[in-house]
Amino acid sequence: MKGKPTIYDIAKKLNITAATVSRALNNNPRISQATKELVLKTAKDMNYEPNKLALALKKGKSNNIGVVVPYINRNFFSSVIRGIEEELFPKGYNVIISQTHESAEREVDIINNLLNAQVEGIIISLAKFTKNTKHFEQVLKKNIPLIFFDRYQEMGGVSSVTIDDYQGSYDATIHLIEQGCDRIAHLTVDPTLSIYKHRLEGYQQALIDHSIPFREELVVKLKSDMEEGKRVAENLMALENPPNAIFSTSDYGALGAIKWLQTNGYKVPEDVCVVGFSNEPFTQFLDLSMSSVDQVPLEMGKMAAQVFLEQVNDGNNVKIEKKVVLSPSLIIRQSSTKK
Amino acid sequence: MKGKPTIYDIAKKLNITAATVSRALNNNPRISQATKELVLKTAKDMNYEPNKLALALKKGKSNNIGVVVPYINRNFFSSVIRGIEEELFPKGYNVIISQTHESAEREVDIINNLLNAQVEGIIISLAKFTKNTKHFEQVLKKNIPLIFFDRYQEMGGVSSVTIDDYQGSYDATIHLIEQGCDRIAHLTVDPTLSIYKHRLEGYQQALIDHSIPFREELVVKLKSDMEEGKRVAENLMALENPPNAIFSTSDYGALGAIKWLQTNGYKVPEDVCVVGFSNEPFTQFLDLSMSSVDQVPLEMGKMAAQVFLEQVNDGNNVKIEKKVVLSPSLIIRQSSTKK
DNA sequence: TTATATAATGTAATCGATTACACAATTCTA
DNA sequence: TAGAATTGTGTAATCGATTACATTATATAA
């Protein structure tokens, strides 16, 4: 009487067995129409709802999927998660989220935990310091779809959804060139990480395509942070032949640069054009709105979810490896528009 | 051989029963030291990990908790979720997130879904349009801790974690008065929602405490959006006796107001001081940084998680109703500092 | 009319753990 | 040294579903 009703409660009430109830509820053709209707009606009357845990145990499917990000409250990540949730909720999946705090160790713990929880798939943006991918091997061994997004590492059997960082960077640089800039600085974060490496390459190729010489001293590595951006801008403008454009792989760095330029007598965009990367929400609210490369996070999340769905439904044991590359979208605003 | 090893596999290998293995793993005093060590070692060798679904089914505890918000990618909500996750992950709980999109219907679906998934607790910020609370009754009936945060409705048996909206609003208004403002406009969103009602009350009380007459025409209702903020600022400044301060319950409204003021010859903060609410990330990056009331989302999340832990551990069937009210924190920046 | 499909339902094993109860072997008590 | 207590394991039920394999009753075929 107390607690949720089970199929046994329904069976007892109708004087049939639980097996019949189960079949009736699952619309098994071997059950008579009359019984089906009776069971369905009784189930509704008793407010019956299947126990997902029992089902999960029996079927070996939990209906849960794990999503792992460095920090949930970064706009990019929370937007990706939003996309994932919106795609997966209608299909009956629950989204479990965990944060690595950029720690590779914690990432290992999380993966183990998710495996114990019997998730049916894992969608992850790697912690910055993850070099080793051993903890992912068991995921693959169990044939659980594993999908990297944004940050990834090459690994057999893993799918990924990323943006074309090269293209985004190329487009941004071309845009600056078209604005008449020919001394374009590039602020990077860590060129050993693939995404930043690709951005650097896109920048370089754009220069080459417009016969603009590449100058080593215009490429600066810094943390993604406003203060660093200020410092770097100061150094750059002190060069003998200072830049007339700054393309930063981080909106925060770009913001710092703009602030330093403005408080030191430079006009943006007239003297120096600036473009950032990520299209953080704040970029559009600045008095001088900032151009930036949008990483289409919502789409990325939806796409990652779709890749997961394809793989989880695909019963055959063939390991699929799907690489989706989305096109970023350059948002041109005031900071790079000399009209 | 294939798939995860179970206690049966361990038992077979050691020629004992699964019951003994289970007891050994759980450090049951009735098991001899020798057997315990043997089992533990074998388990480790075989890479055994308990199947959480089986455990969950047996114990009726899923180790999952549901968190429900309108949209995940709003800074406030994603920060609260971060707090929740950080508090609960170390305790072995998995956080399942869902979004209502501010739809009461979807909220009902989500609650049902979470109940079927046998979550051990639900932490939720109500959809804006939720009036009816019937869907929460089954949650309470099953003795599943239910915790509202930020947006709530009175309901027996439910705990809540909120900020003191009244206090935040009172503090902000007092701050404006101390800056010498005596004609303070108040931008609200929907005074039928409790949080906005409290903010209005705090504003009013601050006026009363400083003998400033309340003027109906200075209280304006608008959507939380920059364009609306501009429109409203224009109307306000057209009044016979226009305000010299604007306190908005939304940062977006405040931003719009500032933009309109600046482009129409008013100086902020000299002519009009402005304070927002929520401390959205962009507020600190504006050229004229914006004062705002911080809703301490991280703390709120952690506190909600703690309330959940208290209640879930508390075995006795007494329904606890805990109301936690956190103090918001007024962040004073340039938009309201006449120095 | 008898053999044979076919339809509708029941029996019991299963998923992977936990645990009440039973039982044998050993140790203790008087 | 018989009976009681203790120790260490085994047996089997349980959580709530699904499902392979009966089994029975009815319909159809020859």
Kindly determine whether the C-beta of residue A16 is less than 7 Å away from any atom of nucleic acid strand C.
Answer: yes
Q: For the segment A270-311, what is each residue's pLDDT rounded down to a tens digit?
A: 999 999 999 999 999 999 999 999 999 999 999 999 999 999
Q: Which carries the bigger pLDDT value, residue B193 or residue A65?
A: A65
DSSP for B37-76, please give it: HHHHHHHHHHT----HHHHHHHHT---EEEEEES-TTSHH
Kindly determine whether the C-beta of residue A35 is less than 7 Å away from any atom of nucleic acid strand C.
Answer: yes
CATH 3.90.550.10 fits A165-295+330-336, yes or no: no
What tokens does A234 get? 């100061």
Compute the nearest-CA separation of B156 from chain A (Å).
21
A62-163+297-328 fold = Rossmann fold (3.40.50)
Establish whether domains A7-50 and A62-163+297-328 are of one fold.
Answer: no
Closest CA to A176 of A264, A106, A276: A276
Instruction: Tell me: pLDDT of A217 over 80.
Output: yes
Instruction: Tell me: pLDDT of A317 over 60.
Output: no
**A-B contacts (CB, under 8 Å):** 137
Q: Which CATH superfamily is domain B62-163+297-327 in?
A: Response regulator (3.40.50.2300)
Length of chain A: 339
What is the reported pLDDT for A142?
A: 85
CATH architecture of A7-50: Orthogonal Bundle (1.10)
What is the reported pLDDT for B129?
A: 81
Measured CA to C1', the nucleotide nearest B32 is D8
What is the reported pLDDT for B1?
A: 45
Pseudo-torsion of CA A269, A271, A277, A282, nearest 10°? -50
Compute the C-alpha angle A258/A253/A125, nearest 5°.
150
Kindly determine whether the C-beta of residue B25 is less than 7 Å away from any atom of nucleic acid strand D.
Answer: no
The answer to whether A289 and A334 are in contact (CB under 8 A) is: yes
**Could you state, in order of their start, the residue ranges of all structural domains in chain A?**
7-50, 62-163+297-328, 165-295+330-336
Question: Which among A51, A92, A116 has the least Cβ separation from residue B118?
Answer: A51
Measured CA to C1', the nucleotide nearest A36 is C8
Q: In this structure, how many other beta carbons lie within 10 angstroms of the beta carbon of residue A59?
A: 10
pTM for the predicted model, two decimal places: 0.94
What is the reported pLDDT for B154?
A: 86
pLDDT bracket for residue A1 (50, 70, 90) = very low
- Do strands B122-124 and B184-188 pair parallel, antiparallel, or not at all (unpaired)? unpaired
B165-294+330-336 fold = Rossmann fold (3.40.50)
Q: For the segment B261-316, what is each residue's pLDDT rounded down to a tens digit?
A: 999 999 999 999 999 999 999 999 999 999 999 999 999 999 999 999 999 877 65
pLDDT bracket for residue A143 (50, 70, 90) = confident
The answer to whether A227 and A168 are in contact (CB under 8 A) is: no
pLDDT bracket for residue A2 (50, 70, 90) = low
Question: Which among A94, A95, A118 has the least Cβ separation from residue B53?
Answer: A118
Q: Which carries the bigger pLDDT value, residue A140 or residue B294?
A: B294
Give the mean pLDDT of chain A: 94
Handedness of CA B65, B70, B75, B80 (dihedral sign): negative
Q: Which positions of chain B have pLDDT values less than 50?
A: 1
Q: Per the CB < 8 Å rule, is A282 touching B287?
A: no
Compute the nearest-CA separation of A106 from chain B (Å).
11
pLDDT over 90, % of chain B:
87
CA neighbours within 13 Å on the CB side: how many for A318? Answer: 6
pLDDT bracket for residue A316 (50, 70, 90) = low
